[in-house]
A and B are shown apart, each in its own frame.
Chain A
């Protein structure tokens, strides 16, 4: 290799290396700029609904089990009357119910504090729920009351609202953090939902 070739190569390296490093940085920063920090892969996906036996929110005698959630494609919507974003999605969820989407509520109660073990007023809660659903729309086939939040923990729920899409075998296919609006439904849920309903997806 002659000296001339050597310096040419060095020049090229001096030009290319910073360019490549810069390109690499731009790529990751752009990715970071348009990524949602709350969006992350849920570990609940492709798992069956864990076993549970919990009472109905409105009826203290009726008990629901995980086997009650098998056989139909449905949404499980985690919500609470304390949750402001849930108020925003209730009307749209009601619209979806009217279109034939089955939605089961999983009630997330904040009142029962694990650190203090507060006493808690069930009658008052039922009143609040009834009033809210009468005002904003009731999308729920029924509501499961997870008083100890054990099921919520097993599902990897971080707060409310969150929504799961489960298939006919009771397997979780989607886990969405945040509210459901027309954009989220059309972009994230609708394609898979239609597929599951028509039975083309296993």
Chain B
């Protein structure tokens, strides 16, 4: 049995459970109490109770919530839908009374513009950052211009490093006293 076929049942389980999570809220939304004249009224009602937010609860739509105010709002939505009101009319009715809080889709206003633009801006700036970084780190040695001045500078740098004692290991006291042959001659120190 190879590892992939071992993992297969687990993967299947994870996929099914994530599907359940994604679609479970729609199962709650079915409402058998209210009667409708036609299917389009029913689908409009279901769409509205799914997108309107319960003003009493922190994060439930009015379809899910059992709060009294959510029941009243469901009844009101049903009444307005039966009167032939459109989706925007019902949403406006609710927003007029309960503010933008009641609708899960915030409108684009100067105050909420940052909500809409920030993720896009963040993504764009990240892509640009990575692109510039990648471009800069690409050095083409075949076409890269190399002049005498730079050659001279490089040579002087190499010379400085070689002449300095920085990279020679410093002799320990023991090494000096025993005159170890392996210790490098450090003329300056002896002088």
Contact = CB atoms under 8 A, between A and B. Distances in A.
Do A and B come from the same complex?
Answer: yes
Interface of A: 37, 40-44, 110, 113-116, 149, 152-159
Contacts of A113: 71
A115 to B, nearest CB: 5
Given A113-B71, A159-B68, A153 B76 contact: yes
B17 interface: no
Given A113-B71, A153-B76, A159 B56 contact: yes
Residues of A contacting B: mostly: loop
A113 B71 CA distance: 8
Contacts of B95: 43
Interface in B96-114: 96-99, 101
A6 B137 CA distance: 17
A113 B73 CA distance: 12
Contact of B68 (A110, A155, A156): A110
B67 A40 contact: no
Contacts of A43: 95-99
Given A42-B99, A154-B97, A159-B56, 6 more contacts: A43-B96, A116-B33, A153-B72, A153-B73, A155-B97, A158-B69
A40 B58 CA distance: 12
A149 B72 contact: yes
Contacts of B68: 110, 159
Contacts of B58: 37
**6 tightest CB-CB pairs across the interface, nearest first?**
A114-B75, A158-B55, A158-B56, A156-B97, A43-B99, A156-B98
B30 to A, nearest CB: 14
A40 B55 CA distance: 10
Contacts, number: 43
Nearest to A159: B56
27 contacts: A37-B58, A40-B99, A40-B101, A41-B99, A43-B97, A43-B98, A113-B71, A114-B72, A114-B74, A114-B75, A115-B71, A152-B72, A153-B72, A153-B73, A153-B97, A154-B97, A156-B55, A156-B97, A156-B98, A156-B99, A157-B69, A158-B56, A158-B69, A158-B98, A159-B56, A159-B68, A159-B69
Contacts of B69: 157-159
Contacts of A158: 55-56, 69, 98
Residue of B55, B67, B68, B99 contacting most chain A CB atoms (<10 Å): B68
A143 B75 CA distance: 25
A43 B76 CA distance: 18
Nearest to B75: A114
A115 B67 contact: no
Nearest to A37: B58
A191 B125 CA distance: 48
A43 B74 CA distance: 20
A158 B95 CA distance: 13
Contacts of A115: 33, 71, 74-75
A44 B99 CA distance: 9
B67 A159 contact: yes
A10 B172 CA distance: 41
A114 B99 contact: no
A176 to B, nearest CB: 15
**Residue from the set A153, A156, A158, A159 with the largest chain B CB neighbour count within 10 Å:** A158
A113 B70 CA distance: 11
A42 B72 CA distance: 18
B157 to A, nearest CB: 15
A43 B69 CA distance: 16
Contacts of A159: 56, 67-69
